Each structure stands twice: as C-alpha cells, then as structure tokens.
Amino acid sequence: MTLLGAALLQGVLGDVLFHGVPLGLNVSLWVASFVACLIVLLRVSRAPFGQGRRWMIAPLVLFAFLVAWRDSPWLLGLDGLAIAGAVAIGALRSPAVRLPLAGLADYAGGLVAAGVSAAGGAFPLLVSDIRWRELGGTSRRAIAVARGIALAAPLVALFGGLFVAADTIFQSLVQSTLPTSLTPAEHVGIVLAWAWVSAGLLRDLVAPRDLPQPTRARPTIGILEIGTVLALLDVLFLAFVVVQFRYLFGGRGLVESRTNLTYAAYARHGFFELVAVAALVLPLLLVADWTLRRERRRDHAVFTALAATLVLLLFAVVASALERLRLYEQAYGLTELRVYATGLVLWVGAVLLWFCATVLRRRRRRFAVGALVAGFVGVAVMNGVNPDALIARTNVARPHVDVAYLAGLSDDATPTLLRSLPSLAAPQRRRLASALLAKTQRGDWRSWTLDRSRAADAIARDRAQLERFATP
C-alpha cells in the first residue's frame, strides 16, 4: 500500500506540474519527488540499496535539473536520453553483475524492463501484490471496480486510438464529444495515468532482482568470414581516405576542376553521410567481436589487427567530416543539426578509443559502463557549451546573416543576440529586434528554466533599445 500511495502522489504531481506547460522546472521537481519515494520504499521494504540503484540517483537527478537550465529542445532531448540511461543503471536485472562489468545486453535489458514496467508494471501490483481480501465487503467491491477501471484504461486508450486513426467519421464524433477544457474527471484520468507509470517503475526498482539465468550459446562466426568482412572494409575506407587527402585536403582549385561543385558545396555534400558511417562502425565492430569464434590464439590477434586498422581509418574519416564542417561554417554558418551531429561524432570517437582499450584487449565487460559514462559526460558538456549561443555568436559574425534562423533559436541564444544587435545592418537589426520583442512571455513557473528567465530579464532590461531598433 505504501507503493500505491507513492504512485498516487507522483500522479497528482504529474497533473499539477505538467498539464498545459512546456518542460522545465517541472521535470526536476517530479524526478526529485520520484527519487525521494524510491528511497522511502527501499527503506520500508528493507531492499538492498545496491544493484545499480545507488549509482542511478546521481545522474538521474543531475540531468533532470539540467532540464531546468537550458531552453534548447535539442538539449532537452539529450537530457532525456541521459535520464533514460540513468534508469537503465537502476534497472539492471542480474544481482550477480557488478556495475563496472555490466555489458551492453545488461543495460539494454534493464532499459527494456523499465519501459515494460512503466507501461504495464502496475498490473501485477493491482492484481497480486496488494492484499485486497483483507478489506471489508463494500470497500473491497469499490476497490475492485476501481481496479477494473484502471486495468481497462490503457486498453480503451489503445483501441480507441486505433479506431480514431482508422475512421475519419469516428474521429470527428470522438472530437465532438471531447470538452475543450479539462473537467474534474479528466484531471482524475491524468492523475491515474501518471500514477500508473510511476507505480510500474517504482515496483520494478524496488523489487528484488531476478537470479542469473543460464547463458545460452550465442551464434558464432569463424575468423575467416569476419576477417574477410573487416579486410574489405579496410580497403574501402583506405580508398576513401586517399581520396580525401587528394581532394578535400588538397585545395579549392583541385576540387573545382574535377567536380561541378564549389569547394564549400563539395564539403557540405557529404557531412551527414560521414556522420552515419562513424556511427555505424562501432556497432559493427561490437557485433563482430561478440560473434567471433576464437578457435586459436591467433584468431583474436588477426581480428585485433583488422579492427584497429578500421578504427584508425575511421579517425581519418572523422577528420574529413570535421574539415567539411569547418568549410561549411565558413560558407554557410552553423546550424543546430550540424553542431549536435559533430557532438555525436566526437562521442563516437571517444567510445572507439575506449573500444580499443577494452574490447580489443579482451576486456569486453568493461566497455559498456565506459561508453555510458562517456555519454553522460558528453551530454553535460553540451549543456555547458550552450550550442544555441555558439551558433548565434558564429552566425552573426558572417557577412550574410540569416535573421530568420537566428530568431528561431531558443532562449539560450537571446542574451548573445541582444549583444550582437548593434553590429547588424539596419534591416536585419529591425527584424531580429521585432522577433526578440515577441519573446517576452515568462510562462508558468512549472516550465521555468534558468536561461528562459535570463532571456526575459535581458529583454525587459533592453526593451527601450529593442523598440528603437524595431521601429522602421
């Protein structure tokens, strides 16, 4: 019953904090309450505080509070991924696996189990965990009806959504019956939805972990097959790197004489393709190492040589991608997508170095925790860098300023844009000042973020100057 009460508390907070407002301080407050409920439940149930739960709390709280710092939707997405990674740490399934030695499968299993528990973990809590038979007759019947409604709610939502998507007439009928403002009954529904998710997650995090299951024999492939694959990829990557040194690093005249593109357009053309290459090589090498059948000692030596060669060539590919970004920035300026793609490339590079230090040295069990920590560090660094402010500083210094794009950046960039206004040409200054004046709403306290508050203060402080700049 304590867990049910904690879930209802989280449900009420979910309705109060999140209804009708963007994400911000509400995420920090809800996660802080969730962690407090988890600690209380662990104490009440006398469950051990280890098994990943202890190490989950610090990154979970950190990245939840980072949501209340920056305003960028991209950073919000990265913080959300980091929060999911923290939950995966707490949801590790096997008690026999130490956190530093947990593999990718362990973290993936924990994350999947946490997701399944959030979606349906309240079913066993309502059906079997709570001793409903100890209640009186009337109370027991009322709670049975409430339990039936709670069990039916996700099914009604699922099938109702499918019917709405399948038939436009049914969709219009449903829309006509829904009220435009929330009724008390709808608030109850929102509370129950948040409580449902919270109950499943809390139950999963408090429950004792399963005993280790016997490992199944994994599919294996011989060194001849894997070596052939890696050798062909090495040849392909080497050919690409030779072309890059010949053309991309060879100078503007050589490129423009051999292609129909300008030097900047040539650099712009392949950036995201190279990002995809860098992102795909890592899982390829992990799968190759996992499936390799090491019949002789030299099998691992051959694999290590071919894989290390591929990693070395990939770093040359990464250098080509970063050079393309530099040339693109000079010609077109920065965009959010390119900045975050660059962050992904740098994270992949760091993880590849960790791959060489662990997997290629027969220490595969230490790889996953290092990759996860590198991800946490990368997300924290991106929050500290403030990409939108970086984009604003870079793009306003260019000869041709895309004011429409700058105006669409989040409030993270507002102080930088305010400082840059006097340096812009009059038409650009007028358009940007008008766009900044439209960003005067502070919003609800639940969606408060530090940078959103700073932007509102800066606009209020410089309002007279902004109005003067915005006047034709």
Note the pLDDT of residue 379.
95
pLDDT beneath 70, residues of the chain: 1, 47-52, 93-101, 120-160, 162-171, 173-187, 208-219, 244-270, 440-442
* Residue 217 counted as domain residue: no
The verdict on 370 and 240 lying in the same domain is yes
pLDDT for 181: 55
Same structural domain, 105 and 162: yes
53, 168: one domain:
yes
The backbone torsions φ and ψ at residue 292, rounded to the nearest 5 degrees and listed phi first, read -65, 130
Please say whether the beta carbons of 153 and 189 come within 8 A. Answer: yes
Per DSSP, 221 falls in state: B
pTM for the structure as a whole: 0.78
Which tens digits make up the pLDDT trace of 244-276?
666 555 555 545 455 455 555 555 566 777 788
Last residue of a domain, one of 385, 402, 436: 385
Domain ranges, residue 465: 392-470
Structure tokens at 315: 């770093």
Is there a single domain that holds both residue 231 and residue 186? no
Residue 390 CB contacts under 8 Å (≥ 6 apart), including other chains: 334, 339
The Cα 277–Cα 273 span in angstroms is 6
Same domain, 143 and 264: no
pLDDT, residue 431, reads: 92
Give the tens place of pLDDT for each residue, 286-308. 888 888 888 888 888 999 999 99
Looking at the fold, whether 186 and 240 belong to one and the same domain comes out as no
Give backbone dihedrals phi and psi of 34, rounded to 5 degrees, phi first. -60, -45
- pLDDT score recorded for residue 215: 52
* In-domain check, residue 15: yes
The count of domains in the chain is 3
Q: How far apart are CA 435 and CA 451, in angstroms?
A: 17
CB 221 within 8 A of CB 293: yes
Q: Do 73 and 7 sit in the same domain of this protein? A: yes
The answer to whether residue 189 sits within a structural domain is: yes
On whether the CB atoms of residues 74 and 336 are closer than 8 A, the answer is yes
Domain membership of residue 371 (yes or no) is: yes
Residues in the chain: 472
Q: CB under 8 Å to 246, separation ≥6 — which residues?
A: 254
Tokens matching residue 328: 């693109």
How far apart are alpha carbons 203 and 197 in whole angstroms? 10
Q: Please tell me whether residues 245 and 379 are part of one structural domain.
A: yes
Q: What is the pLDDT of residue 189?
A: 74
User: To the nearest 5 percent, what fractions of the chain are helix, strand and coil?
Assistant: 80, 0, 20
Q: How far apart are CA 406 and CA 420, in angstroms?
A: 11
Distance of alpha carbon 199 from alpha carbon 117, whole angstroms: 8
| pLDDT computed for residue 229 by the predictor | 87
Whether residue 33 is found in the same domain as residue 158: yes
Q: What are phi and psi of 221, to 5 degrees?
A: -130, 145
Q: According to the model, what pLDDT value does residue 207 have?
A: 74
What SS3 state is found at 337? helix
User: Are 352 and 408 members of one domain?
Assistant: no
- What's the token pair of residue 145? 């009806």
Q: Decide: 374 and 57 in contact? Cβ < 8 Å.
A: no
In a domain, 436, yes or no: yes
CA distance 198 to 84: 14
Does 343 share its domain with 265? Answer: yes
Q: Are 344 and 279 in contact (CB under 8 A)?
A: yes
In a domain, 164, yes or no: yes
Task: Single out the residue in 358, 385, 412 at which a domain terminates.
Answer: 385
Total Cβ atoms within 10 A of residue 210: 10
Question: 237 and 137 in one domain?
Answer: no
Asked if the structure places residue 29 within a domain, the reply is yes
The pLDDT assigned to 152 comes to 57
Contact 123, 100 (CB under 8 A): no
CA distance 234 to 314: 9
Residue with tokens 């392909």: 236
Q: What is the CA radius of gyration of the chain?
A: 27
Domain end (from 385, 405, 428)? 385
Dihedral sign, CA of 351, 353, 359, 364? negative
Would you say residue 442 lies in a domain? yes
Q: What are phi and psi of 71, to 5 degrees?
A: -115, -10
